[in-house]
């Protein structure tokens, strides 16, 4: 397993819709284990493949480090599809490893049904609620090229402009490795 650099806002791959995984080979298995290690090294609870420069529909989640969620198992989701969302919404302060040092309250559906394939290409459909649903929606968005800051109103976007430009210019001190430039790609 290796810790890989994390792509940051401004990187082109974060704005691309990720390609479907068609076959699970050793490369994909290695990517998944690297994603877990990279996420944990950065103290994250979710990570999408394009955050390590891989243009594939894969994300990992592990919310067990969060108090009250210790029993939740880590999951790798391949080709995920959100089947339905609850009408009930909730607000939660989100952050993102690709947008360091920025947190903002985002409103999202409180629960979802999500379909995905595991590393054995076995299909699953699960119901996720609260924090798990939150993380999964955030990571699912990544695979569509969407970042949580896209949900902010114009005023907040303006307020964070300077901070974002600092990240883009790599002038922020970040305690985990980040991509060297906006064109960074590990696997196209």
Query: Site mask, Zn ion, residues 8-27, x = CB under 5 A?
Result: --------------------
**Cβ contacts of residue 56 below 8 Å, gap of 6+?**
18, 19, 20, 21, 28, 31, 49, 50, 187
- Binding-site member from 45, 54, 96, 128 for Zn ion (CB under 5 A): 96
Compute the C-alpha angle 175/138/31, nearest 5°.
60
Distance of alpha carbon 42 from alpha carbon 177, whole angstroms: 9
The CB-of-99 to Zn ion minimum distance in angstroms stands at 7
Site string for Zn ion, 30-69 (x = CB under 5 A): ----------------------------------------
129-to-54, 113, 166 alpha-carbon distances in Å: 28, 9, 34
Q: Tell me if residue 139 is catalytic.
A: yes
Closest distance of CB 133 from Zn ion, Å: 15
Rounded least distance, CB 179 to Zn ion, Å: 14
Closest CB to Zn ion among residues 77, 96: 96
The residue count for binding Zn ion (CB under 5 A) is 1
Rounded Cα distance between 59 and 46, Å, is 7
Distance, in Å, from the CA atom of 141 to the CA atom of 35, rounded to the nearest integer, reads 17
Catalytic residues: 139
**Which spans of this chain sit near Zn ion (rule: CB under 5 A)?**
96
């Amino acid at each position: 397993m290796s810790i890989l650099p994390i792509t940051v806002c401004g990187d082109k791959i974060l704005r691309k819709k990720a390609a479907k995984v068609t076959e699970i080979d050793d490369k994909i298995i290695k990517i998944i284990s690297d994603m877990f290690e990279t996420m944990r090294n950065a103290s994250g609870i979710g990570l999408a493949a394009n955050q390590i420069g891989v243009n594939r529909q894969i994300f990992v989640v592990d919310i067990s480090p969060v108090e009250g969620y210790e029993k939740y198992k880590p999951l790798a989701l391949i080709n995920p599809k959100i089947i339905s969302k609850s009408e009930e919404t909730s607000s939660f302060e989100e952050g993102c490893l690709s947008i360091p040092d920025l947190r903002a309250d985002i409103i999202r559906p409180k629960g979802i049904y999500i379909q995905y394939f595991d590393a054995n290409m076995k299909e699953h459909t699960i119901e996720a609620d609260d924090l798990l649903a939150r993380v999964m929606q955030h990571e699912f968005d990544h695979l569509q090229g969407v970042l949580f800051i896209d949900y902010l109103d114009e005023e907040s976007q303006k307020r964070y402009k300077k901070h974002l430009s600092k990240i883009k210019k790599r002038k922020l001190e970040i305690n985990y490795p980040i991509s060297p430039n906006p064109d960074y790609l590990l696997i196209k």
